[in-house]
Structure 1
Amino acid sequence: MTGDAAMGLRVASFQLVNCGTQPYVLEGYPRLSLRDDHDAPVEVSVEHGSAGITTGTPNLDAAPQRVALAPGQAAFFGIVWRNLVTDGTVVATTAWNVEVEPRPGAPRLSLRLSEPVDLGNTGKLGLGPWQPLVR
């Protein structure tokens, strides 16, 4: 996936590799939250798929499926957002950390980003389902 910087469209994808010795099963969507550069929670509405943000993102709009990862196999999910300021009186939101719970009850993974999730003041993020990574 790619984004159009002139339109403020941004996309990113994240991988999870099974580094264990047993199969690891993922279903549906991960739980995702954002944190700012001081590790404070960022208020964001996370929606499944890309509706209301953009169109034509098959990886984000795919039907959720069960993904069984053998040791060494990987899965991925994508996110999409717009850096859009719709109200000049509302401060733009920027997140430098993503927290991911791969499946219910699993430990949360904290990822420091090299580029921020710069939401503007839309407060909206689209989330795709887990998909197997084909190498």
Structure 2
Amino acid sequence: MCMKRWVRGVVVAGAVVLGATGCEAAPAPAAARPSVSAVPPAAEACPEGGVRLVEGTGDAAMGLRVEGYELVNCGATDYVLEGYPEIRLLDKAHRPVEVAVGHGSAPITSQVPAVDAAPQRVTLAPGQASSLSVVWRNLVTDATAPAVEGWVLEVTPRPGAPRVSLALSRPVDLGNTGRLGIGPWAAAGR
């Protein structure tokens, strides 16, 4: 059985030979719009507010991180999103991480299409999902300041909506930059 592993900060140039293990290499996710993982089983209770947050696959190179998440409508009625969510990160002890959240990829990097897209209105029918792209750098700019990691993502999808939490399998490893860029809600699969 082949297992994918998240490797932080390692860039591999060229091809990786997997023939000895009998595994085939999966295509790398597009940095412009990371793919997302499957929706959790229907047997799982739908959170208050009728939506569930799902972690996607990420893309990391030379300290630049691009991560995708999906907000799945697990309720019984349409769910309308517009613009940007409100985001908060918590550390392993569930304490808030100090981070400045901006709309778009600047000043973190230059142009990430999914993060720099124009906001649009997205209506999710029951079972449909919307995607959210996030970008940051794992960079230590001050040796005297500790590097921080977010292990829980909290999202308020729209004004007045209940906050949705997701325990992350991979951290938002900010180093000590304290900056995170987010894109607007987009229809999943675009």
For the criterion TM > 0.5, the same-fold answer is yes
Q: Give the structure 1 partner of residue 121 of structure 2.
A: 66
Q: Give the structure 2 partner of residue 78 of structure 1.
A: 133
Please report the RMSD computed on the Cα atoms of aligned residues, expressed in angstroms. Answer: 1.2
1:29 aligns with 2:87: no
Equivalent residues, number: 134
Deviations 1:96-127 (A, max 9, x none): 01000011111111110001000000000000
Higher strand share: 1
- Structure 2 CA distance, aligned partners of 1:50 and 1:61? 6
- Structure 2 CA distance, aligned partners of 1:125 and 1:8? 13
- Structure 2 CA distance, aligned partners of 1:96 and 1:102? 19
Instruction: Specify which of 94, 106, 125 is matched with residue 149 of structure 2.
Output: 94
- Structure 1 CA distance, aligned partners of 2:189 and 2:139? 33
1:39 aligns with 2:122: no
Q: Percent identity?
A: 62
1:49 aligns with 2:104: yes
Matched to 1:56, the amino acid is Q
- Structure 2 CA distance, aligned partners of 1:134 and 1:89? 42
Farther-moved stretch of structure 1 (87-96 vs 17-26) = 17-26
Q: Give the structure 1 partner of residue 175 of structure 2.
A: 120
SS in structure 2 opposite 1:41? coil
Unaligned runs of 5+ in 1: none
Unaligned runs of 5+ in 2: 1-29, 32-58
Task: State TM-score, norm by structure 2.
Answer: 0.68
- Structure 1 CA distance, aligned partners of 2:97 and 2:76? 35
Q: Give the structure 1 partner of residue 158 of structure 2.
A: 103
SS in structure 1 opposite 2:135? strand
Task: State TM-score, norm by structure 1.
Answer: 0.94
